[in-house]
Chains A and B, each alone.
Chain A
Amino acid sequence: MRAAMLVVLLPFAALAQAPVLEISGANFRPLPLAYAAPATQDDGAKAHARELDEALQFDFSACGLFQLLDRKSFLADAKEGVTASSINFTNWTNVGAEVLVKVQLASDGDQLKGDLRLFSVNAGREELKVSESAPSKDTRRLAHKLANAVYKYFTKETGPFETHLAWTKKTAQGKDVYLSDWDGRNPVPVSVGGINTLPSIGPAGQVGFTSFKKGKPDLWLWRGGNAETLVSSGRMATGIAFSPDGKRIAYSLADGESAQIYVANADASAPRQLTNTPFFINTSPAWSPDGKRLAFVSNRGGTPQVYLMSADGGDAKRLTFQGNYNQTPDWSPRGDLIAFTARDERNAFDLFTVNVDSGKITRLTQDQGNNEEPSFSPNGRLLVFTSTRNGPSQLFVMTFDGNNQTALPVEKGTYSTPAWGK
């Protein structure tokens, strides 16, 4: 079993054995990070500073690694320099910061350039300097690139900030599917008008979704701005899931009374029916990261539960035994956990994970409206999900163990079925 534990190396200590921080378990403590308002070097940079700043603050605060300190508490002069020699580190120690991030922004034609410096406050030393640039119109992308450099510095892993989400937003008559940045911003319409839902993102950035464009639920594929039908056979096809290598798709299809799980080639050729329970539902397939197994939902035992089976078919094994309404499994790209939606004893919908090997259940959400439809980030550290805690169903992210639950900064609306991809 692979431990679901993110080791954060703290290279601040001059000693050979750097202190190690675990992101899960009792030892994890988010790192207190002070991020000063960006310094701008010209009017062009000034015009984009606020947008960059908002994106960067969200990235730091939502990713779960950091405790982003409130700027209002800062003691340092707003005009303080950006090099170690010009920084009074005592002012930063006194507000509880262990890490200090400073950003300088400059414009060059229609390009925006950002320099980010990261300091160890206790050592009073610059630990990281990165320069990134992006077209001014993609200011948020510049922020995400800089945030990814910081994430990688601490974790040695690729951060989530340049990944994408697909999700649906309710309209007066139905639902539209969009593809957005990881924070829900810059939404690109994938399929609008009528009822479109259950999107997923393939390894090449393609988006599969379920649409009623032809009067019944069919599978559609969107690539580079064009959408076409992928599976229109049977009476109902829903919930396309791309295998991790992109060569196969899994989905749920009903030809008769009950939905069954199918696997086909990526172009929908050579479909194979993997389940055969004529009077029971099989739905919501999710691939294991090695592409060898599928998690799915079946009510063959009387209530909807999460099951596992080989992606080549064969016997299914029940994975969840607690509760009587467990749905929407999503397999962590790290392999060890499956996140799912459950209806609890108080009839609220909440999120849980189940350990694939041990069957151990961990609760992630509680007492905050209904929480549904979890989907792991590509690095397995975060989950996107929907929550009704503030009213209409909204998009949230949290760490894989339920910490740092944060609403995405999106327009008002009713959102559903988010899926995370590259």
Chain B
Amino acid sequence: MRSKRESSKSFMLLGVAFVGITGCAHRPVTPPSEAPVSRAATTPASVESARVVVPQGSAPDDLAALLEQCIIHFDFDAKRLNSESLVRLDRLAQALRAHPEAKIQVTGNCDDRGTEEYNFALGQERAAAAKRYLVDLGIASSRIEVVSGGEERPVDRREAEDAWAANRRDEFSLLAGH
């Protein structure tokens, strides 16, 4: 695991390198889901939109950093990818095309409301939803592993709307050996 400091450093490097992909065509965006709750859901800062884009053939380290920064969020009890998530996944697909050897893992996570077993299934669907989108963009299915973290891997253990919103997420990482 990288320390926060390391991540933000590589992130800045990426920021410089990442110009140009944002313009790529987006797939039709599914309407935002009607969230039962979580109107207050805010998306914690991760990859700042629009400014950054990946370079062809950048070092795998940069890909790892991009993956680490690429976090997508969900509404309560929902697996629908929102427009912001689609932008991030478009960018991720671009980077994966630039690194055809790389294999990645998507981990789907839930907030700790609701029951544990259902949240395992929901985490699985969240991870699979991101994979399905990347596969639709032409990334080989064999390059993407999905894992459910259920509600077992919170990034924020508080019981509050913003903490729950932060915990409902897909995380991406480079699979070992790639």
Instruction: Enumerate chain A interface residues (CB-CB to B < 8 A).
Output: 174-175, 195, 197-198, 210, 212, 215-217, 235-236, 238-239, 252, 254, 256-259, 281-284, 297, 303-304, 324-325, 327-328, 341, 343, 347, 349, 370, 372-373, 416-417
Q: Which of B114, B121, B152 contacts A212 (CB 8 A)?
A: B152
- The answer to whether A257 and B124 have CB atoms under 8 Å apart is yes
A210/B120 contact (C-beta < 8 A), A257-B125, A257-B132 known: yes
- The answer to whether B152 and A327 have CB atoms under 8 Å apart is no
Q: Which of A198, A252, A257 contacts B128 (CB 8 A)?
A: A257
Q: Which of A197, A282, A324, A370 contacts B116 (CB 8 A)?
A: A197
- The answer to whether A259 and B152 have CB atoms under 8 Å apart is no
- The answer to whether A347 and B37 have CB atoms under 8 Å apart is yes
Whether B167 is near chain A, meaning CB under 8 Å from some CB there, is: no
Known: A217-B150, A235-B147. 16 other contacts (CB 8 A): A195-B153, A212-B152, A217-B148, A236-B120, A238-B121, A239-B120, A281-B121, A284-B117, A297-B117, A297-B118, A303-B77, A304-B118, A327-B115, A328-B118, A349-B114, A417-B116
- The answer to whether B122 and A281 have CB atoms under 8 Å apart is yes
- The answer to whether B152 and A238 have CB atoms under 8 Å apart is no
Interface of A: prevailing SS:
strand
- The answer to whether B124 and A373 have CB atoms under 8 Å apart is no
Shortest distance from the beta carbon of A355 to any chain B beta carbon, whole Å: 21
Instruction: Enumerate chain B interface residues (CB-CB to A < 8 A).
Output: 36-37, 77, 113-118, 120-122, 124-125, 128-129, 132, 145-148, 150, 152-153
- The answer to whether B114 and A281 have CB atoms under 8 Å apart is no
Shortest distance from the beta carbon of B89 to any chain A beta carbon, whole Å: 16
- The answer to whether A283 and B118 have CB atoms under 8 Å apart is yes
Shortest distance from the beta carbon of B168 to any chain A beta carbon, whole Å: 15
Q: Which of B116, B147, B152 contacts A236 (CB 8 A)?
A: B147
- The answer to whether A327 and B114 have CB atoms under 8 Å apart is yes
> Which 6 pairs across A and B sit closest by C-beta, in order of nearness?
A257-B128, A259-B121, A281-B121, A283-B121, A327-B115, A239-B117
- The answer to whether B152 and A254 have CB atoms under 8 Å apart is no
Which of A281, A328, A416 has the largest number of chain B CB atoms within 10 A? A281
Total of A-B residue pairs, C-beta within 8 Å: 94
Nearest B-chain residue to A328, judged by Cβ? B115
- The 11 sampled A-B contact pairs (Cβ below 8 Å) are A197-B152, A198-B116, A216-B148, A238-B150, A252-B121, A256-B128, A281-B121, A283-B120, A304-B77, A324-B36, A328-B117
Q: Which of B36, B118, B129 contacts A257 (CB 8 A)?
A: B129
A252/B117 contact (C-beta < 8 A), A236-B147, A281-B125, A325-B77 known: yes
Nearest B-chain residue to A304, judged by Cβ? B118
- Residues of chain A contacted by B37 (CB below 8 angstroms): 347
- The answer to whether B147 and A215 have CB atoms under 8 Å apart is yes
A259/B115 contact (C-beta < 8 A), A215-B147, A236-B148 known: no
Nearest B-chain residue to A251, judged by Cβ? B117
Shortest distance from the beta carbon of A384 to any chain B beta carbon, whole Å: 15
- The answer to whether B129 and A258 have CB atoms under 8 Å apart is no
- Residues of chain A contacted by B132 (CB below 8 angstroms): 257
Shortest distance from the beta carbon of A9 to any chain B beta carbon, whole Å: 38
- The answer to whether A254 and B116 have CB atoms under 8 Å apart is no
CA of A239 to CA of B121, assembled, Å: 11
A236/B77 contact (C-beta < 8 A), A328-B117, A373-B115 known: no
